[in-house]
Every structure is written in structure tokens, then in C-alpha cells.
Chains A and B, each alone.
Chain A
Amino acid sequence: MSRKRIDYLSKLRRAVQLLLIQRHRRPGVKGWELKRALGRRYLNIIKLVDEELARFGLTVKTIFTGDVSSPTAEDYDKAIFLVTFREPAKISDVLTAGLRIDDVGALAASLAYINSKGGSINRRELESILIEKLPRWRVDSLIDRFIRLGYLESEGELLRIGWRAKAEIDLSLLSLNLLSSSHEG
């Protein structure tokens, strides 16, 4: 094996370790951290890692800070890189993640509604939607829980889509599936 290939393989392993092992309070690793560990061409290594992880049904997801349409090298340095499922999960996976089925339903409703409102909404407006299906005390504690888990972000009375929702949920697909699903029950 050539020296170059050995070097590439060791970087690949290091990249997988950095991406998978949670070293901060939140999972994921910053672009500049990958750059420091893997060198200037870290995006090429990440691309290779993504191809390798595809075999196991996983993918590397990049979450940019702010609204980035055509990312620059600087945007990648500031972004967070995470490993997620490549395909959507099963409902049984959701339930084993420690969430009750009605909590997940409320989360789906919250995210789809906030997304349709352009990404931010007043807390009371969301409460008025959820209160139709859940008691008030549970609505309050659920919204606080979604904020704690990172699915929502709060800025005073304003609620936004949180970092975890951006990483884990395809919001357009969620809204599309919601509109195309049958509405019994």
C-alpha cells in the first residue's frame, strides 16, 4: 500500500471518529475542527466518509449557520457536520428514542406549522394549535421539552425551528407528507 493511501485511510478513520464520538454537549463537529484534524482538504475526506457510511444506511449532514444558499469555504468552516440516518426512520425507532407517540405527533404538528409560517411563530399561537389535542399543562411542558432537545429554539416569545430539527428532519418532506396523508382520526 502506498504511503499516500495509508495517510488517506488514517484520515478517513479519524474523520469517522470525530463525526461519531460526541465530544461537546451537542453531537456533531464544527468544520474548523475537522480542518484542524484532517487538513485543508477535509471536505474531500468527508465526501469519502459519506460514501463509506452509505453502506450502513448513514450519511454525513452539514448544517450551516444562517440561511446559506451557495456555501463558501468559510461557511463550511462554521458549519456543523453530523452523521444521520440516510433514509427516514421507522415509527418503532421513534418510540424507542424515549418519546411517546403523542409527543411525536405534537412535535410533527409544531414543526410543520412553524415551517409553513416562514420559520418563526409566537409561542401562544403554537399553544393554541396544540391545546386542541392536549391538555394545557402538557402543552407548556412539551414546548419546553422540544426547546431543551433542540427541536425548537426560543427567543423571548418567538419560537423558531431548532438545530436538531434542521439536522434530523426534512421539513419540506414532513409538510408534503402531512398534506398528502389521509386525515382520519
Chain B
Amino acid sequence: MLEADPRRRWFKLGKKSDKRRIERIVKACKYVIKRGSDPFEVDVPRYLKVLRSYIESSLSPEDLALDLNALENVSRIVELQGDWIKSRSSTLYFDPMLIEWKIKSMSLKNLAKVFASAWRPIVSISLISNKGFETAANYWVNLPPLKGRWGRLPEASVGTELTSIEDLIREKLALKGSFSEMLEKFWETLKKKYVEGGVYYWNFICSEDFESSLLKAYMLSFLSTYGYIHLEFDPSSRDYIIIPNERRIESENSYSITVSFSFDEWVRRCKCESKEN
């Protein structure tokens, strides 16, 4: 048994702590790179020794990837150490402490004067390109006169007429009853259909006309948002099953589902598929 063998157990623990050490190396290197601090704070020879002993006992691709990552970060530190030496050994090296002290002791106005003494601004001319000019000229030539553009709209005629609520309902400008009543009826219909058998989303919302399907989709989204129904995806039919709840359930773990609903989608789902079937 693996656990009964103390050597194996020791090996497992040792490997785990080795892995942690490598992760610490990566972290330390990244910290120095990110902060831009003295790269000689990193003990590169010791890190390389640790990496060598780790690679000798590593077999899995994860171990090798970790080792590679650590080696990459250590090599970046060596690069930074090179830059650091180059910068310090140059005759134009300025001690950051001294610079910081000078910055703190001088006014912003005097600092600006120092800036000007070393500033040689770029000289350039901004022009419109030939292509840009050509496009602009073409646009201008093809632009109709203002008078022609403004005269296109017919004069607005304002008048008042009386209409009945039945006419408004017929024109689909008003609802028959209140929206909550409609929802209540819709929910009851769903419950009944569910008892008869599974209700698939697209089967349910497909109606004779697009407007009715859209209204069903709208009310379904309303019912699911407020916890009156919930949806479950059926991978075999690649459609959602509508499951009505007995009462409203307020769930904190719910999430939104986007169902595309356009006229083309409606034709494809409700007209073409029904013809095929």
C-alpha cells in the first residue's frame, strides 16, 4: 500500500515541498522584476542549484513546465543584473538617493527650468493626406444643397380622432386585461401543459404568427426572471425544457440565459422545421 510505505510517503512530501520552493522562486523573481528593485537581491546561484536538483527528480510535464517558468524568470533577473551593472559602471550614473533628495528639495518651477535646459522638442507638420483630401472633395461634390435636403419631409398634419379600447386591442396598442392577469393565465397554461408532458421552449412559443410567438417569449422571460418557472437544457434536443414552479421561488444562485429571437430565427424554427416534420 502506498500510505504504508514510509519511504514513498517521505518522497511524496519531499516532492510537494520542492514544488513549493520552485513556486517561491518564481514569485520572488517576479516580485523583483515588477518592482524594478535591485536585481542583486536575488541569490541566482542558490536558485539555480535548487532548480537543478528539482529537474533531476521531475518527470511529469507539469513539473517540467514549472521548472521552465522558474528558469525563464531567473534568466530575466540575470538580464536585469547585466543592465544594472552597465548603468552603474557608466560615467553618467546618478545615485537615485541624491536625485530623490534634489527632487524633494526643489520647487516644481525650478524643476521645469531644469527640464527646459535638456528639452529639444520634436518638430513636425500635420497635414491632411492626399487620400483624405480626395475623399473629402468627393463628399463635398456629391453633397446635395441644403435646401433640397431640408425640403424632403412632408408637412406634419395634426388632428384628433376618437377611438375605442377594442380598436386599440385589435391594433395591438393595448392589452386585453392587465399584464399581471395575462401572466397568471399564461403560468396556469404552462402548468397544465407540463403535467401532460415535457414542454420544450421552441415548441411552446411557436405560434401561427410572429407577434404571438414574440409575446410568449417575452412572458416566459418575465416568468423565469421572477422565479415562476425555470429552464433546463436538454442536450439531446439542444433545446430548453420549461419547468413551471408550483409557487414563486426566489433563488440567489440563478443566472441569465440568452435566447436569440429574431424573425429569421422564428421562420427557421417554427416554419421550416414544422414543414420538415
Binding site for B on A (CB under 8 A): 20-23, 27-28, 58-59, 61, 67, 82-91, 93-94, 97, 101-102, 104-109, 111-113, 115-122, 125, 129, 132-134, 156-158, 164, 167-179, 181-185
Contact = CB atoms under 8 A, between A and B. Distances in A.
Given A82-B122, A181-B106, 17 more contacts: A21-B127, A22-B124, A58-B123, A59-B120, A84-B121, A88-B120, A94-B115, A105-B112, A115-B94, A115-B99, A116-B94, A118-B83, A168-B120, A171-B118, A173-B117, A174-B115, A178-B102
Contacts of A97: 121
A179 B108 contact: no
Contact of B121 (A91, A121, A168): A168
B105 interface: yes
Given A116-B96, A121-B36, A178-B99, A91 B112 contact: yes
B36 A122 contact: yes
B169 interface: no
A185 B115 contact: no
B2 to A, nearest CB: 43
Contact of A101 (B98, B108, B118): B108
B126 interface: yes
A116 to B, nearest CB: 4
B49 interface: no
B75 to A, nearest CB: 17
Dominant secondary structure at the B interface: helix
A112 B103 contact: yes
Contact of B99 (A67, A88, A116): A116
Name, among A111, A113, A182, the residue most crowded by chain B CB atoms within 10 Å (CB to CB): A113
Interface string B82-104: 01100100001011101110111
Contacts of A170: 118, 120
A181 B111 CA distance: 9
A123 to B, nearest CB: 10
A158 B34 contact: yes
Dominant secondary structure at the A interface: mixed
Contact of B36 (A88, A90, A120, A185): A120
A173 B118 contact: yes
B99 A113 contact: yes
Interface of B: 33-37, 83-84, 87, 92, 94-96, 98-100, 102-127, 129
A67 B96 CA distance: 21
Nearest to A124: B35
A113 B100 contact: yes
A167 B119 CA distance: 9
Given A129-B103, A132-B104, A168-B122, A89 B34 contact: no
Nearest to A115: B94
Contacts of A157: 34
Given A105-B108, A158-B34, A181 B122 contact: no
Contacts of B122: 27-28, 82-84, 164, 167-168
A170 to B, nearest CB: 5
Given A105-B108, A108-B115, A132-B104, A175 B120 contact: no
Contact of A174 (B83, B95, B110, B114): B114
A105 B107 contact: yes
A89 B99 contact: no
Contact of A107 (B92, B98, B115): B115
28 contacts: A20-B125, A22-B127, A67-B83, A84-B122, A88-B118, A88-B120, A91-B113, A104-B111, A105-B108, A105-B115, A111-B115, A116-B96, A117-B96, A125-B36, A129-B100, A133-B108, A156-B34, A157-B34, A158-B33, A169-B118, A170-B120, A172-B92, A175-B94, A177-B114, A183-B106, A184-B106, A185-B107, A185-B109
Nearest to A108: B115
A116 B113 CA distance: 19
A94 B34 contact: no
A133 B239 CA distance: 63
Contacts of B104: 129, 132
A113 B96 contact: yes
